[in-house]
């Protein structure tokens, strides 16, 4: 790790990490964007303290707003995201680039316990989810090593109420309602209390046992659980970023229904979803305003200076 690296790349207040909903476009997101009036101004590959970062695409939207796009959560082909510090690299870039609003999309499997055909409230394949909260069972990154955000807990603590910015969830809900030629079966907003079980990197989906457990705990806490991609909400909060998260439910959790999720997923990713999700993301990036009524900033709470003094002083340089 090298703390002396300076960020060299474009700056913008708005950004997206894309995600699995637009995978079907491959590396041609910019082509699709151009057809919708978004100009790609440049493609960069910034260095970060943790090594060469992911690709950063710089766009100008039809309304003149500039935004950044880092493809697929900042993941690089053939690199284990965890082994290569992918989330550190990605958030370091967003932080240095001055990003304040971050749009992320994902696809997920539903572990909702309400699966009978007549249960219209259930979170089912074909639905759009704006999650209320998240669960995590891995040790997700919560700071940026080698920077002032490495371990800021004694100075400021991220309260993880409203991890996904509520006003931005409303912007997403409105945008989904305005999509041309496409309707989600149902939109579950934050009021539906859906929990996103974080999964970002790895070569396998959840096991049948994990899905059964998530199904049972969802029923127990009265909050249906979906499993899918999720960048660290703590890291976003610590970096001062409003996180707008949407999930398209693609399948049932492994083993909960006798379907092979990969078949449904490939069809969805290649045929239905790419154009819909890309149009949805581009419209958000063009139109969303920076929220003023949320608590994202306030929930990063400053702590009394005594707390930091209660730790050993830093090593003399």
Chain residues in the site for Zn ion (CB under 5 A): 165, 242, 291, 294, 296
Nearer to Zn ion by Cβ, of 130 and 278: the residue is 130
* Residue 130 CB, nearest approach to Zn ion (Å): 13
DSSP string over 166-225: HHHHHHHHHHHHT-TT---S-EE-GGG--EEEE--S-SS---HHHHHHHHHHHHHHT--E
* Residue 38 CB, nearest approach to Zn ion (Å): 24
Tokens of 74: 């900042």
Residue written as token pair 């409303």: 170
Nearer to Zn ion by Cβ, of 56 and 102: the residue is 102
* Residue 152 CB, nearest approach to Zn ion (Å): 19
Contact 244, 165 (CB under 8 A): yes
* Residue 242 CB, nearest approach to Zn ion (Å): 4
Nearer to Zn ion by Cβ, of 294 and 308: the residue is 294
* Residue 27 CB, nearest approach to Zn ion (Å): 31
* Residue 61 CB, nearest approach to Zn ion (Å): 20
* Residue 85 CB, nearest approach to Zn ion (Å): 26
Contact 13, 95 (CB under 8 A): no
Other beta carbons within 10 Å of 93: 24
Nearer to Zn ion by Cβ, of 135 and 294: the residue is 294
Q: Tally helices (H) and strands (E) across the chain.
A: 8, 15
Tokens of 196: 């996103």
Instruction: Give the Cα separation of 159 and 91 in Å (integer).
Output: 19
Nearer to Zn ion by Cβ, of 149 and 288: the residue is 288
Is 309 exposed, middle or buried (CB count within 10 Å of its CB: 0-12, 13-18, 19+)?
exposed
Strands (E), the chain: 14-16, 39-44, 47-48, 51-52, 56-60, 66-69, 101-110, 128-129, 133-135, 156-158, 187-188, 195-198, 225-228, 242-252, 300-302
Nearer to Zn ion by Cβ, of 244 and 249: the residue is 244
Nearer to Zn ion by Cβ, of 8 and 159: the residue is 159
């Amino acid at each position: 790790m090298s703390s002396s690296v300076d960020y060299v790349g474009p700056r913008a207040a708005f950004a997206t990490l894309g995600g699995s909903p637009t995978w079907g476009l491959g590396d041609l997101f910019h082509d699709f964007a151009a057809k919708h009036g978004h100009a790609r101004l440049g493609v960069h590959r910034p260095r970060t303290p943790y090594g060469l970062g992911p690709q950063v695409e710089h766009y100008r939207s039809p309304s003149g707003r500039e935004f950044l796009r880092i493809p697929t959560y900042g993941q690089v082909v053939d690199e284990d995201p965890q082994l290569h510090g992918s989330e550190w690299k990605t958030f370091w870039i967003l932080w240095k680039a001055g990003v304040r609003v971050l749009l992320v999309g994902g696809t997920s499997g539903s572990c909702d316990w309400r699966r009978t055909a007549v249960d219209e409230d259930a979170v089912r394949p074909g639905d759009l989810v704006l999650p209320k909260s998240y669960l995590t069972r891995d040790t997700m990154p919560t700071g940026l090593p080698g920077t002032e955000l490495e371990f800021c807990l004694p100075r400021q603590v991220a309260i993880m109420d409203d991890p996904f910015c509520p006003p931005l969830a409303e912007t997403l809900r409105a945008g989904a309602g305005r999509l041309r030629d496409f309707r989600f079966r149902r939109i579950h907003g934050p009021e539906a209390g859906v929990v996103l079980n974080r999964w970002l990197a790895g070569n396998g989906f959840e096991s049948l046992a994990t899905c059964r457990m998530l199904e049972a705990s969802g029923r127990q806490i009265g909050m249906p659980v979906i499993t899918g991609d999720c960048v660290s909400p703590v890291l976003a909060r610590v970096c001062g970023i409003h996180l707008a998260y949407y999930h398209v439910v693609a399948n049932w959790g492994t083993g909960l229904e006798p379907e092979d999720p990969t078949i449904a997923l490939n069809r969805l990713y290649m045929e239905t979803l790419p154009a819909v999700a890309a149009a949805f993301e581009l419209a958000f990036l063009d139109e969303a305003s920076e929220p003023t009524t949320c608590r994202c900033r306030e929930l990063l709470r400053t702590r009394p200076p005594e707390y930091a003094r209660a730790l050993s002083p830093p090593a003399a340089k």
